[in-house]
Amino acid sequence: MPHKKGRQTALKKITAMVRKDSPQGGMPVVLYESPHRILKLLKELSLHDRARVTLARELTKIHEEVISGTPQEVLAHFVKHADTVKGEFVVIVTP
């Protein structure tokens, strides 16, 4: 995701691609996000309640973690476990 300029535009494109009624037909979107911006992304995605999110961090390492749910559920998990917001995140947004 863009850090500042173009972030809202990119988010609109992502949500448009994920929507089932879009011309693209509800495509999953895969992106990378830094630990500094992951909570902000989840808050922005939580405005779109139809989306499902899978977050993966520390892939291929001993502390590998994969979490799936609505953006609100995943956000609640990381707010509760703030100490695990480390490393780069792979974010998969699906319809």
Query: How do residues 55-88 score in pLDDT, each as one tens digit?
Result: 999 888 888 899 999 999 999 998 898 887 888 8
33 lies in a domain? Answer: yes
CATH value at residue 40: 3.30.950.10
- Is residue 24 pLDDT above 70, yes or no? no
Question: How would you classify the pairing of strands 29-33 and 89-94?
Answer: antiparallel
Residue span of the structural domain in which 57 resides: 7-94
pLDDT given at position 53 = 93
pTM for this model (two decimals): 0.77
**Residue 94 pLDDT > 60, yes or no?**
yes
Instruction: Please report whether residue 17 resides in a domain.
Output: yes
Q: Is residue 34 part of a domain?
A: yes
Q: How far is CA 32 from CA 2, 22, 89, in A?
A: 10, 23, 6
19 in any annotated domain: yes
Count how many domains the chain has.
Answer: 1
Of 78, 79, 21, 32, nearest in space to 59 by CA: 32
Within a domain: 2:
no
Question: Is residue 1 situated within a structural domain?
Answer: no
Structure-token match 């520390």, residue found? 58
What HEC string does 25-50 produce? CCCCEEEEECCCCHHHHHHHHCCCCC
